[in-house]
Amino acid sequence: MSLKRLAEHLELTEGTVSRALNNYPDISAKTRKRVQEQAAALGYRANPLARRLATGVAEAVAYIMPENNSSISDPFVSQLLTGLSRALSERGWDLLVTQSVSAEEEPDMLHKLITSGRVSGVVLSRPFKNDARIKLLQQAKFPFIVHGRSVDHEDYAWYDVDSQAAITVAVDHLVSLGHQRIGFIGAPTYYNFAQVRLDGYKDALAHNGIALDPDLIAITELNDDGGERAAGDLLDRPDPPTAFVCVNDTQAIGVLAAIRVRGLVPGKHVSVIGYDGLRFGRHTNPPLTTMVQPQEHSGRQLGDMLLSIIDGGDPKDFQELRSAELLRRKSDGPVWTKEAEAES
Amino acid sequence: MSLKRLAEHLELTEGTVSRALNNYPDISAKTRKRVQEQAAALGYRANPLARRLATGVAEAVAYIMPENNSSISDPFVSQLLTGLSRALSERGWDLLVTQSVSAEEEPDMLHKLITSGRVSGVVLSRPFKNDARIKLLQQAKFPFIVHGRSVDHEDYAWYDVDSQAAITVAVDHLVSLGHQRIGFIGAPTYYNFAQVRLDGYKDALAHNGIALDPDLIAITELNDDGGERAAGDLLDRPDPPTAFVCVNDTQAIGVLAAIRVRGLVPGKHVSVIGYDGLRFGRHTNPPLTTMVQPQEHSGRQLGDMLLSIIDGGDPKDFQELRSAELLRRKSDGPVWTKEAEAES
DNA sequence: ATTGCATCCGAAAGCGCTTTCGGTGTAAGT
DNA sequence: ACTTACACCGAAAGCGCTTTCGGATGCAAT
Whole-number distance in Å between B18 CA and D10 C1': 13
pLDDT at B311 over 70: yes
CB contact under 8 A, A283 and B282: no
Task: Count CB-CB contacts under 10 A for residue B340.
Answer: 11
Q: Distance between CA A252 and CA B229 in Å, rounded? A: 27
Nearest to A125, CA basis, from A174, A171, A57, A192: A192
Q: Which residues does chain B have within 8 Å of residue A53's beta carbon, measured at their own beta carbons?
A: 47, 49-50, 53
Note the pLDDT of residue A201: 98
In the DSSP assignment, the letter for residue A288 is P
pLDDT at B252 over 70: yes
Q: Distance between CA B134 and CA A2 in Å, rounded? A: 26
Phi, psi of B74 (to 5 degrees): -75, 120
Phi, psi of A113 (to 5 degrees): -60, -45
Helix segments in chain B, DSSP class H: 3-10, 14-21, 29-42, 48-55, 77-89, 106-115, 132-139, 163-176, 192-207, 224-235, 249-261, 298-310, 338-343
Residue-wise pLDDT tens digits, B188-203:
999 999 999 999 999 9
Q: For residue B154, is it left (φ>0), alpha (ψ between -120 and 50) or beta? A: alpha
What percent of chain A stands above pLDDT 70? 98
To test the contact with chain B by mutation, choose from A86, A90, A95, A97 the residue with the greatest count of B C-beta atoms within 10 A, namely A97
Residue-wise pLDDT tens digits, A224-239:
999 999 999 999 999 9
Which range is least confidently modeled, A270-274, A339-343, B263-267?
A: A339-343
Strand, helix or coil at B85?
A: helix
Angle of CA points B298, B302, B305, to nearest 5°: 135
Whole-number distance in Å between A26 CA and C5 C1': 15
Confidence of residue B342 (pLDDT cuts 50, 70, 90): confident
Residue-wise pLDDT tens digits, A155-196:
999 999 999 999 999 999 999 999 999 999 999 999 999 999
Whole-number distance in Å between A26 CA and D23 C1': 14
Q: Which nucleotide is closest to the Cα of A51 by its C1'? A: D17
Query: How does the average pLDDT of chain B come out, rounded?
Result: 94
The angle, 0 to 180 degrees and rounded to 10, between the axes of the packed helices A48-55 and B48-55 is 140
Confidence of residue A240 (pLDDT cuts 50, 70, 90): very high
Nearest to A44, CA basis, from A91, A1, A92: A1
Nearest to B273, CA basis, from B210, B337, B200, B342: B200
What pTM value is reported for the model?
Answer: 0.94
Determine the average pLDDT of the residues in B96-106. Answer: 90
Note the pLDDT of residue A339: 76
pLDDT at A344 over 80: no
Note the pLDDT of residue A71: 46
Note the pLDDT of residue B338: 77
Spatial contact of B223 and B251, defined as CB atoms under 8 Å apart: yes
CB contact under 8 A, B81 and A99: yes
Determine the average pLDDT of the residues in B9-38. Answer: 95
Q: Distance between CA B59 and CA B93 in Å, rounded? A: 5
Confidence of residue A338 (pLDDT cuts 50, 70, 90): confident
Nearest to B62, CA basis, from A1, A51, A81, A308: A81
Query: How does the average pLDDT of chain A come out, rounded?
Result: 94
Q: Distance between CA B52 and CA B169 in Å, rounded? A: 49
Determine the average pLDDT of the residues in B155-180. Answer: 97
pLDDT at B344 over 90: no
pLDDT at A80 over 70: yes
Phi, psi of B308 (to 5 degrees): -60, -40
Determine the average pLDDT of the residues in B201-221. Answer: 96
Q: Distance between CA B101 and CA B69 in Å, rounded? A: 11
Determine the average pLDDT of the residues in B72-98. Answer: 89
Q: For residue A159, is it left (φ>0), alpha (ψ between -120 and 50) or beta? A: beta
CB contact under 8 A, A118 and B48: yes
Note the pLDDT of residue A69: 58
Confidence of residue B168 (pLDDT cuts 50, 70, 90): very high
Q: Distance between CA A103 and CA A83 in Å, rounded? A: 26
Amino acid identity for residue B103 in this structure:
A
Spatial contact of A224 and A257, defined as CB atoms under 8 Å apart: yes
Q: Distance between CA A88 and CA A85 in Å, rounded? A: 5
